[in-house]
Amino acid sequence: MLAPFLGRSASTLQLNISGSVTAVPAQSHAEDAYRYTDDSLFLPEDRVRVIRTETGFTVEGAGELLTAVVPLLDHLCIRQDTAMVHAAMVDYRGAGILLPAWGGVGKTSTVAKLVAMPGVGFMADDWGFITTDGTLLPYAKPMFIKPHHRPIYPDLFRGLRKPLAPGWLTSTVSSVATAVHPVIVRYPRTAAFTRRWSPEHRMVHPADVFGAGKIASTAPARLAIFLERFDGTEATLERRSQAWMAARIVGNFHSELPLVSRRLIEALGATGLVPLGEHFSAKTSAIARALGEVPCFVLRLPAAWSADRTSDHVAGTVTSMVERQP
């Protein structure tokens, strides 16, 4: 999941990971929820310790630490004038398109329709980054392909493949996975096995889906459309302010984090290691600066529409809006 981050970095900030937990004396107790000092936090239930350092953080624990790393990575990125967002992103012939959305709205499906067009490059289908100067940065992590993607990614369902639960069971399997996730992450090998072999989805690298030549590097943000489902019969498109979009992106990202990640953010705030007001206001400010004069919209899509119909509509909307821009 974090392979795209491997390699040397020019940043002075560091996020160090360790499989052993350092003993910290004289910790304060927040009931049974966590133990802490001015510079450290331990969550007994998740078996994770976070230590604040002069250059960033150290994360220690015997479990799978991805859910602890993501919110801390987001915080350090904000300190570097960059924000992590829950969104699909493409480079549309030189114009960066940002499509934040709730899970299940159709980000992965829409990316397929857009990237199939000449001159459009893949940047992200779930998570991505935006800098305060308005540059979209890609995150080509593995894509999670689900049964409802069959009409959109037919080649990924041909031949011998890992079996997936039928479409009518998808929501049940997803609910079970969400319920057991806080327990499974305590055991790294089990977590890795279930992520790879879960009948809920297949993991496929974007380069294997679209080809290495269709993976874009950076693009200046030129359009932001928040996608959401609603109980209507026709899609609606409405203009929104950059402040509205920034607030919605911050809230959406936080709510889409796993429970363990949200619990860590709450604990960091409660103990003062990363005050909640500071974290959320800094991220909101960074995204607002990043959007600058970027046109922002909300596109509401009927909940009854299929992933195929939804992605066609979103791709068509993006195309018409970009081509109308000067």
CB contact at 8 A, 121 and 214: yes
pLDDT of residue 323: 87
Q: Are 271 and 36 in contact (CB under 8 A)?
A: yes
Alpha-helical segments (H) within 23-169: 66-79, 107-115
Domain that holds residue 94: 3-324
For residue 163, pLDDT over 60 is answered with no
pLDDT in tens, 85-105: 999 999 999 999 999 999 989
Do 57 and 17 meet the contact criterion of CB atoms below 8 Å apart? no
pLDDT in tens, 241-299: 999 999 999 999 999 998 889 999 999 999 999 999 999 999 999 999 999 999 999 99
Span of 110-114, 245-249, 322-326 with lowest mean pLDDT: 322-326
Confidence (pTM): 0.83
**pLDDT band for position 151 (cuts 50, 70, 90):** confident
CA distance 99 to 226: 6
Q: What gap in Å lies between CA 279 and CA 75, rounded to an integer?
A: 7
CB 121 within 8 A of CB 215: yes
Average pLDDT estimate for 118-124: 96
pLDDT of residue 159: 56
pLDDT in tens, 200-238: 557 788 998 899 999 999 999 999 999 999 999 999 999
C-alpha pair distances (Å), 202 with each of 40, 62, 64, 107, 165: 37, 26, 20, 16, 11
User: Which residue in 15, 38, 17, 37 sits closest to 26, CA to CA?
Assistant: 37
CB atoms < 10 A from the CB of 120, how many?
Answer: 24
Q: Select the more confidently predicted residue: 326 or 286.
A: 286
In a 13 Å sphere around the CA of 97, the CA atoms on its Cβ side amount to 29
How many domains does the chain divide into? 1
Q: Would you place residue 54 in the very low, low, confident or very high pLDDT band (cuts 50, 70, 90)? A: very high
Instruction: Give the pLDDT confidence score for residue 84 in this predicted structure.
Output: 95
> Of the candidates 164, 146, 181, 173, which has an alpha carbon nearest to the alpha carbon of residue 64?
181
State residue 187's pLDDT score.
Answer: 54
